[in-house]
Amino acid sequence: MEIRNKSKGTVLSGGATAARSFSSRLLGLMLSRPRDLVLVSPQEDIPSSSIHMLFMRFPIDVVWADSGMKVTGVGRKVMPFDPLKPGTWRIYKPGKPSKYVIELGVGGAEGTGDGDVIEFVPALPGQ
């Protein structure tokens, strides 16, 4: 699917996939090759849309959005967990309750900010 920033008229991703099941959300991009992924949280809240970077091999940009498709947080160049770098020992959370966690390659969130409206084309079922 394509992910667009409707507020800015830009494309965040031209080929993202959706992770809806518990196991696909849990795994996210761990131990995988770089690709764009939308994690669909079972609930619209902060704990369900929080992410970790354990077992990741590359940095990513992260965009969080609520069920109204409004951006609730952006993480740029989020680094993989490194036991020798305490700054990477954390859970990443949106600023407000979120339904969608969009994991992009570094630079994919460029120009996107809190309050922007995004869209998925074609739309995810149940969106």
With residue 94 as reference, give the H or E element that holds it. Answer: none
Give the whole-angstrom CA distance, residue 23 versus residue 45: 19
Show Cβ contacts of residue 14 under 8 Å, excluding neighbours closer than 6 positions. Answer: 2
**Listed residue (6, 2, 20, 1) closest to 111, CA to CA:** 6
Report the DSSP pairing between strands 37-45 and 17-19.
parallel
pLDDT score of 34: 63
* Strand stretches in the chain, DSSP E: 2-5, 10-13, 17-19, 37-45, 60-65, 71-78, 98-104, 118-121
Q: How far apart are CA 91 and CA 59, in angstroms?
A: 14
Q: Which residue type occupies 91?
A: I
What per-residue confidence (pLDDT) applies to 28? 65
pLDDT tens per residue across all 127 residues of the chain: 999 999 999 999 998 988 876 766 666 666 566 678 888 888 999 999 999 898 888 999 999 999 999 999 999 999 999 999 999 999 999 999 999 999 999 999 999 999 999 999 987 766 6
> Is the bond leading into 122 cis (omega within 30 degrees of zero)?
yes
Domains recognised in the chain with CATH numbers = 2-121 (2.60.120.1140)
Reported residue count of the chain is 127
Q: Which residue has the tokens 């990443």?
A: 92
